[in-house]
């Protein structure tokens, strides 16, 4: 389930289950959205992106859904593996090259 | 491809010291690089946008005289934390956009520099 930590919400899932990580973005003018994975002590690693003219995009084991009506973005990870444990950030770009990062969600995969 | 290297990965120094952090795009050219700061269990906060051959653009609240940015080539940007104090201790991360590609594209991130000021 989900819980709110000191600053970072945590999502705990069983290995093999699907994970859904949610993100509410702030700027209705944003036209490009990206999901990053950050492991402890490392920089963010690109997972998948989506442009505002789409509402769904699929990658390998990951799917991003975009709902512009409610300014909501989600990342779905199929068959979650221990290596998926990390902090996941969404980012939006309001028609500039600058990113605005979300608060992040820690994903814990339980064996 | 699209590798960004950041150096050093970890530095400890005394209060009052100036510290330089390098960010290099190894296999692509980057007109624009970005510098972020990240506190524990928090998100990335953009500090400044580094533009090759011109002055950096700083975000509101970031002291440009404290955090000096130089982007002298298409593959290198440096961030110098001048006269560092304990409150400057943080995780600093750079990213780069690939030159020659128009429109939206993902930024490529370095692995960060852990700065600890004693």
What pLDDT sits at residue A20? 97
Strand partners, B94: B35
Q: Which residues of B touch A (CB under 8 A)?
A: 4, 6, 32, 34, 41-46, 49, 93, 95, 97, 104, 106-112, 114
Between chains, do A43 and B110 touch, taking CB under 8 Å as contact? Answer: yes
CA A33 to chain B, closest CA, distance in angstroms equals: 9
Q: Which two tokens stand for residue B77?
A: 């940007």
Between chains, do A43 and B93 touch, taking CB under 8 Å as contact? Answer: yes
What pLDDT sits at residue A94? 84
What pLDDT sits at residue B1? 72
pLDDT digits (tens, 9 = 90+) for B22-57: 999 999 998 899 999 999 889 999 999 998 888 999
pLDDT beneath 50, residues of chain A: 1-6
Neighbouring CB atoms inside 10 A of B21's CB total 24
Strand partners, A22: A74
pLDDT digits (tens, 9 = 90+) for B59-83: 999 999 999 999 989 999 999 999 9
In chain B, alpha helices (H)? none
What pLDDT sits at residue A3? 38
- Residue holding tokens 């993100």? A23
What pLDDT sits at residue A2? 43
Q: Which two tokens stand for residue B58?
A: 């700083």
Q: How far apart are CA B110 and CA A91, in angstroms?
A: 17
**What residue ranges in chain A does DSSP mark as E strands?**
2-4, 9-14, 19-24, 32-38, 45-51, 56-58, 62-67, 72-77, 86-93, 100-101, 105-110
């Amino acid at each position: 389930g989900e819980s709110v930590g000191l600053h970072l919400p945590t999502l705990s899932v069983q290995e093999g289950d699907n994970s859904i990580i949610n993100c509410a973005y702030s700027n209705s003018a944003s036209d490009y959205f990206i999901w990053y994975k950050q492991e402890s002590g490392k920089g963010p690693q690109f997972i998948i992106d989506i442009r505002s003219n789409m509402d769904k995009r699929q990658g390998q084991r990951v799917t991003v859904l975009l709902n512009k009506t409610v300014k909501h973005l989600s990342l779905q990870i199929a068959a979650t593996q221990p290596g998926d444990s990390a902090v996941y950030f969404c980012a939006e770009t309001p028609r500039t090259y600058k990113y605005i990062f979300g608060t992040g969600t820690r994903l814990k995969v339980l064996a | 491809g699209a590798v960004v290297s950041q150096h050093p990965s970890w530095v400890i120094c005394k209060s009052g010291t100036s510290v330089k952090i390098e960010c290099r795009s190894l296999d692509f050219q980057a007109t624009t690089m970005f510098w972020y700061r990240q506190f524990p269990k928090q998100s990335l906060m953009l500090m400044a946008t580094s533009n090759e051959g011109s002055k950096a653009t700083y975000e509101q609240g970031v002291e440009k005289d404290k955090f000096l940015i130089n982007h002298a080539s298409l593959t290198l940007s440096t961030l110098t934390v001048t006269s560092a104090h304990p409150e400057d201790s943080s995780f600093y991360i750079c990213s780069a956009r690939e030159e020659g590609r128009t429109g939206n594209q993902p930024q490529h991130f370095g692995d960060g520099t852990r700065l600890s000021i004693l």
